[in-house]
Amino acid sequence: MSDDSGLWLLAAGPVGATALYWMLYRYYRNTDKSHAFEHETTVEAKPVTGSDSKVDTVIGTQETRIGGDNVHAYRARVKRVDQ
């Protein structure tokens, strides 16, 4: 075992303590809950249309996801444009 991985393991204590604190706090206070209107409302949608065009390539990045990925963050508003 190297020194590098040993130092990394030392963080487990503080990380575990923080994770437990937030888990219990949320379980009691439920501050992260709200009405999931995106899925609990009756929505009738026509088929989605659109276009995809290749504009660039990325070579040799260490990131596993695109920067600023918000595909699942429905409620994070981005720049609003008028028609």
Q: How far is the CB of 7 from other proteins (least distance, A)?
A: 10
Whole-number Å distance between alpha carbons of 40 and 33:
14
Q: Are the C-beta atoms of residues 60 and 68 closer than 8 Å to each other?
A: no
Q: How far is the CB of 28 from other proteins (least distance, A)?
A: 5
Q: How far is the CB of 38 from other proteins (least distance, A)?
A: 4
Which among 49, 43, 44, 38 has a CA at the least distance from the CA of 72? 38
Give the binding site for other proteins (CB under 8 A). Answer: 1-2, 4, 6, 9-10, 12-14, 16-18, 20-21, 24-25, 27-31, 33-35, 37-46, 48-72, 74-75, 77-83
